[in-house]
Each structure stands twice: as structure tokens, then as C-alpha cells.
């Protein structure tokens, strides 16, 4: 035990990202029982609050809305917020400016992207391939999109995708990281396979953006969506984003045309003419309060390298698995997260017979992860504010709880 504690202290002292922790609102020892300093390992569900957000939201409410009122659409930059904030997210997912628009939920953006992909695929392509292990909503949206576009839906695992592709494939919807297990799928290889079949790919980045390099432009991804309340720390229900590769933007035909995506939004014309560029992904009036909270949250990324975040993420998850092996009785838990770095996101999922009860007891001890039915304990590692001492403590408490 003492050796692991000493290693954690040494790693934290050498951590180039350690100073970022002060930019978040996190628990202290006094928030819990005397023996339970808070350890927050649920950033893969809801990121911690960046300390700058409350003051920014107060300014938006009191000054921009309260004093300037409707003038803020111009004077406070409300109108351009969706694309401006999209450009802040762009470098975190490996995209050049002008390809991401922020707004709506992930579910709505999956629908826009998938239907638009089918429309761009052209005649004769009437099959949608979907990740059979996907987050349920993505599957629901894919099924509905297939019905609406007259396509057949074909659910397969990501490993089966290359063999499932053919001349009828229109679009493929995949998750970059599996939400249950934390498995990282091979975005470059799968994207290349989809393109070789003449189809378009839509990637869901909810569990990878802000945790690891994505490389949307580098790997020629067509369309991508993602939420902003996990590793991007935008707050509960913060708006999602839609990426449309620049070379496809003039063909992007949104199934949800709205006045905000019109070429002349204030022209109030009865006929629809799509705006240029990524603006085609807009629909209705932006949700300004949550959007500007997100903009403030993204300031913590100033000067931060995604590569450095990835290196720390792998180090944290490696150390956690080592500590679990040391502290938890043999056979009590089983990791379902791949050991290989190339196949691991930024979470560790442990199978445990009484996982629901175990997670409740962990939370009582100040170690916050989450439970996924029927038997999975999930622990998310956000390198911007999680340290190695947090990891050691979480594993030690887990060992005490399950013993």
C-alpha cells in the first residue's frame, strides 16, 4: 500500500496538467466523512464544474439578458455563438475551423447527420449499418431514420463492419468509444473501410472528445456528433455539436431545416434556401444560457494539448488497474476494458456481481463512479482534474468495500 501511495504522490508532483485541477469546483475532505476525501470518477457521465462558469452565467443573465436584452443578439455575440463555440471544440477533435456548429442534443444531431448521409449517398444505396453495441438512443434514431428514408437497418458490431459493407450501404453509424466497456474503436481503419465501399460514416464522439485525439480531418471523417457535458465539462444538458466535413457542406441536406439555417434567416421567406457551410446544421433559436456556459467551460482548454491529456489518461487508467489488482481480492471484479492502449478510451469498466450495491457504498465513501446494468462499475478518468492520488484512493476504497 505505502509503495502505491508513494508512486501516486511522485506522479502527481511530475504531472504537467496538475495545475488545471484548481480551475474546477471539486470536493475536499470536509465534504465527506473524515476518511473519505472526494474522488470524482464520473466525468464520463457529467464533467465537473469549471470554476469560471458561475460568474460567466451571472453576467449572461444579469447584464447580457437583464440589461441589454435583445441587443445582446448582436452586441454580446449571441447570434454567432453556435459556430464560434464550434470553432473552440474543433481543435479538440482534430478539425479545422468552420466545420462544427453547436446546438440541439446529441440525439437530434445524430438524426440530422444520418439522414443527410443517406441523402448524400445517392440512389441504389438503401442500407444503414449501425453499431449493434451502441448507446440505445443512437439505435433508436437509426431505426427511425431507416424507416423515414426507406432503408434497411443492419446492426453489427464494429468488428463486423468491414464484412457487412457493400454496394447497397448508404451510411454507417459508429461509436468511437463504447459507453459500457470503454473500448476504443479504430476510427481511421473503419472510416477507410466505409469509404472504400462508397458509403458515408457518422461517428459518435460522446466518450472520446476531450479525452483523446480524434483526427476528424486527418482521417477524412464525413460527419460526427458529440455531447459537451462529459469530458468537455459543459454542464448538464449542455448543447451538443455537429461536424460536417468541408468537402460535403454544399451537399449537406438537413432533414430539419429551420429559420436559423436559412441563407436569409430574417427574410422570412416561405421557400427554404440553406445557408453556406456548417451553418446548415443549425435549426432553431440557440439555447443561449447553456451555450454560453459551455463557452466559459471550454476556456480551461486554453494552451492544453490533447496529446498530453491522452498520455495522462492512459497513465491514470494503467495505474488504476494496477491498484485494483493490488487492493481488490482476486476474482471479486473483472475488467472488461481492453488492456491495450490502442483499444482503450478514458474509462475503466469492472464487472462485479453486486455492482449496484457496491457503487452505492463507494459513493457513501466519497468515491463517485456509476453503475450500468446488470453488473458493471464504470470509472471515468478526466485528466484535467483527476490525479494519481485520486486513483490510488478509489482503488483502495473499492478493495475495502468488496472485501
Which residue spans within 176-239 are E strands per DSSP? 200-204, 223-226
Residue 270 region by backbone torsions, left for phi larger than 0, else alpha for psi between -120 and 50, else beta: alpha
Pairing mode, strands 367-368 and 347-351: unpaired
CA-nearest of 203, 129, 124 to 162 is: 129
**CA-wise closest residue to 129 among 102, 103, 160:** 160
For the chain, the C-alpha Rg in angstroms (whole number) is 22
CA distance to 72, 297, 308, per residue, from 288 (Å): 10, 14, 31
Active site residue 63: no
Q: Which of 229, 320, 327, 381 is catalytic?
A: 229
Which residue out of 42, 104, 204, 370 is catalytically annotated? 204
Is 21 catalytic? The answer is: no
Which is the catalytic residue, given 40, 111, 135, 327? 135
- Do the Cβ atoms of 343 and 184 come closer than 8 Å? yes
Catalytic residue among 125, 378, 393, 396: 378
135 counts as catalytic: yes
> Residue 15 to residues 37, 193, 259, 387: CA-CA distances in angstroms?
20, 38, 47, 8
**112 given a catalytic annotation:** no
- Asked about 378 being catalytic, the answer comes back as yes
| Active-site option among 125, 230, 280, 365 | 230
* Whether 46 contacts 230, CB under 8 Å: yes
Cell of 179: 459507453
Residues 261/275, Cβ–Cβ less than 8 Å: yes
* Distance between CA atoms of residues 348 and 376, nearest Å: 10
Q: Which residues have a Cβ under 8 Å from the Cβ of 314 and sit 6 or more positions away?
A: 341, 344
Alpha-carbon torsion, ordered 59, 62, 66, 72, to 10 deg: 0
- Rounded to a whole number of angstroms, the distance between the first and last alpha carbons of the chain is 16
- DSSP letter for 46, please: S
Q: State the catalytic residues.
A: 135, 204, 229-230, 378
Amino acid at each position: 500500500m505505502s509503495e502505491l501511495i508513494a508512486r501516486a504522490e511522485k506522479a502527481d508532483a511530475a504531472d504537467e496538467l496538475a495545475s488545471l485541477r484548481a480551475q474546477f469546483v471539486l470536493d475536499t475532505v470536509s465534504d465527506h466523512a473524515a476518511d473519505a476525501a472526494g474522488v470524482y470518477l464520473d466525468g464520463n457521465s457529467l464533467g465537473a464544474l469549471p470554476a469560471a462558469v458561475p460568474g460567466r452565467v451571472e453576467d449572461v443573465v444579469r447584464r447580457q439578458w437583464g440589461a441589454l436584452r435583445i441587443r445582446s443578439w448582436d452586441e454580446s455575440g449571441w447570434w454567432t455563438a453556435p459556430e464560434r463555440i464550434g470553432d473552440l471544440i474543433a481543435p479538440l477533435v482534430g478539425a479545422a475551423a468552420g466545420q462544427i456548429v453547436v446546438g440541439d442534443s446529441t440525439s437530434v444531431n445524430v438524426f440530422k447527420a444520418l439522414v443527410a448521409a443517406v441523402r448524400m449517398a445517392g440512389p441504389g444505396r438503401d442500407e444503414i449499418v449501425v453499431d449493434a453495441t451502441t448507446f440505445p438512443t443512437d439505435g433508436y434514431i437509426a431505426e427511425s431514420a431507416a424507416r423515414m428514408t426507406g432503408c434497411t437497418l443492419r446492426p453489427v458490431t464494429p468488428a463486423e463492419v468491414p464484412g457487412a459493407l457493400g454496394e447497397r450501404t448508404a451510411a454507417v453509424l459508429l461509436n468511437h468509444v463504447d459507453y459500457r466497456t470503454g473500448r476504443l474503436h479504430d476510427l481511421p481503419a473503419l472510416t477507410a473501410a466505409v469509404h472504400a465501399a462508397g458509403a458515408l460514416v457518422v461517428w459518435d464522439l460522446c466518450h472520446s472528445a476531450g479525452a483523446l485525439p480524434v483526427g476528424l480531418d486527418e482521417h477524412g471523417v464525413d460527419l460526427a456528433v458529440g455531447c459537451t457535458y462529459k469530458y468537455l465539462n459543459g454542464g448538464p444538458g449542455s448543447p451538443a455539436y455537429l461536424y460536417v466535413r468541408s468537402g460535403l457542406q454544399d451537399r449537406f441536406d438537413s432533414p430539419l431545416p429551420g429559420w436559423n439555417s436559412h441563407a436569409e434567416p430574417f427574410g422570412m421567406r416561405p421557400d427554404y434556401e440553406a445557408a453556406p457551410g456548417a451553418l446548415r446544421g443549425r435549426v432553431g433559436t440557440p439555447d443561449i444560457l447553456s451555450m454560453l456556459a459551455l463557452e466559459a467551460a471550454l476556456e480551461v482548454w486554453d494552451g492544453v494539448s490533447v496529446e498530453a491529456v491522452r498520455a495522462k489518461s492512459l497513465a491514470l487508467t494503467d495505474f488504476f488497474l494496477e491498484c485494483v489488482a493490488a487492493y481488490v481480492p482476486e476474482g471479486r471484479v473483472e475488467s472488461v476494458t481492453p488492456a491495450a492502449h490502442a483499444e482503450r478510451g478514458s474509462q475503466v469498466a469492472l464487472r462485479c456481481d453486486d455492482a449496484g450495491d457496491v457503487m452505492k457504498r463507494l459513493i457513501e465513501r466519497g468515491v463517485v463512479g456509476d453503475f450500468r446494468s446488470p453488473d458493471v462499475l464504470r470509472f471515468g478518468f478526466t485528466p484535467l482534474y483527476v490525479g494519481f492520488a485520486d486513483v490510488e484512493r478509489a482503488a483502495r476504497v473499492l478493495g475495502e468495500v468488496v472485501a
